[in-house]
């Protein structure tokens, strides 16, 4: 596994809780990190801009205190997501704050993040960049990112269309950094499957919307429990970038989820969160195709404990299915 030192011996399970617009705040991030997975939030969630420093200071302080009181527990580092797009007029300010406070991990989206990499590496931080295809992955790798988040078919919110089997295996041929897989992962079996394909970490977002600590409308959480993969639509209408959304939330906004026009990409605006009166992600709810496995909205600690049990069970079942000679060869290679 190509894990940076900051993640070695700090994770209960190999998971990053992805940054969720509006939904991810200090409460969710702190709970995720205390439970032993990487918690993250979009910098733009902290509004107005000065709130970003307050959030990061709070997260670092509470995690530091918790770790001091519980030295036996694995406490994961946190991450801040930066949207690298011309419409994000806060990018320079937010990079400066993250550098000043030495945020452990920066997650970047859209264009290759040269200035973010330079800033993060100046203090030893790591940069993970999300991509939907090999072309974008190679551009990010050339910039020197530490990890690639492969956003595959079925991921919630902004997502690609490639199969994870195709994208993970192709990227692994040439990229030696950390590989993180995103796309319809909602339980321990999905996490185990991601690692079996060669990913180092699984990237779960929608599953954490349905938790007590998530800053999400109660109806949003209820929808995630109620609906399944057939209730997801893929469109670029709301932000200019294709993504997966809950069809019932689209219908509630007065639109036909199965007859949506294409967006005008020239009007992409990530500073305001969307292009329309009905804003993604406040009115139009992002969701991955893995919602069929979501049956409740528990506290984060309870969910992570469940994911860990499922992950261990999935690994055990996988080992039991392996032919005896393959299992023996695997053990010999490990030794």
The pLDDT, as a whole number, for residue 275 is 44
Residues of the chain with pLDDT under 50: 272-277
Instruction: State pLDDT tens for residues 42-70.
Output: 999 999 999 999 999 999 999 999 999 99
Q: Where are the domains of the chain?
A: 5-217+290-334
pTM of the model: 0.92
DSSP-based three-state secondary structure for 114: helix
Structure tokens at 310: 């499922």
The pLDDT, as a whole number, for residue 239 is 83
| Separation of alpha carbons 326 and 137, rounded Å | 32
Q: Are residues 126 and 4 in contact, defined by beta-carbon separation less than 8 angstroms?
A: yes
The per-residue DSSP string of 72-103 comes to TS----EEEEEEESTT-TTHHHHHHHHHHTT-
Which H or E run contains 23? Answer: none
| Separation of alpha carbons 59 and 8, rounded Å | 20
The pLDDT, as a whole number, for residue 321 is 84
Instruction: State pLDDT tens for residues 285-295.
Output: 999 999 999 99
Q: In 280-301, which positions are buried (b, 16+ CB within 10 angstroms) versus exposed (e)?
A: bbebbbbbbbbbebbeebeebb
CATH of 5-217+290-334, one of 2.60.40.420, 3.20.20.70, 3.40.980.10, 2.60.200.20: 3.20.20.70
The pLDDT, as a whole number, for residue 266 is 60
């Amino acid at each position: 596994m190509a894990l940076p030192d900051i993640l070695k011996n700090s994770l209960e399970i190999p998971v990053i809780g992805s940054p969720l617009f509006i939904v991810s705040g200090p409460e969710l991030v702190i709970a995720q990190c205390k439970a032993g997975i990487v918690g993250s939030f979009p910098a733009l969630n902290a509004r107005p801009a000065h709130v970003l420093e307050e959030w990061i200071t709070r997260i670092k302080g509470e995690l530091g205190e918790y770790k001091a009181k519980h030295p036996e527990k694995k406490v994961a580092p946190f991450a801040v997501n930066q949207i690298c797009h011309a419409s994000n007029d806060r990018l320079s300010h937010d990079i400066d704050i993250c550098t000043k406070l030495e945020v452990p991990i920066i997650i970047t989206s859209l264009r290759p993040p040269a200035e973010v990499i330079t800033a993060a590496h100046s203090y030893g931080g790591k940069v993970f960049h999300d991509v939907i295809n090999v072309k974008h992955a190679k551009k990010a790798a050339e910039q020197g990112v530490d990890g690639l988040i492969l956003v595959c078919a079925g991921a919630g919110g902004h997502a690609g269309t490639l199969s994870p089997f195709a994208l993970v295996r192709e990227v692994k041929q040439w990229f030696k950094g950390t590989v993180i897989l995103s796309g319809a992962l909602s339980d321990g079996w999905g996490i185990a499957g991601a690692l079996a394909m060669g990913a180092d970490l699984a990237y779960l977002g929608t599953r954490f919307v349905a938790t007590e600590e998530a800053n999400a409308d109660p109806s949003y959480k209820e929808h995630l429990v109620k609906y399944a993969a057939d209730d997801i639509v893929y469109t670029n209408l709301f932000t200019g970038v294709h993504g997966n959304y809950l069809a019932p939330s689209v219908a509630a906004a007065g639109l036909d989820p199965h007859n949506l026009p294409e967006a005008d990409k020239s009007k992409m605006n990530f500073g305001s969160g969307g292009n329309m009166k009905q804003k993604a992600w406040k009115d139009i709810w992002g969701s991955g195709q893995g919602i069929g496995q979501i049956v409740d909205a528990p506290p984060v600690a309870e969910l992570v404990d469940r994911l860990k049990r499922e992950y261990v069970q999935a690994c055990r079942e996988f080992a039991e299915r392996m032919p005896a000679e393959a299992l023996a060869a695997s053990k010999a290679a490990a030794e």
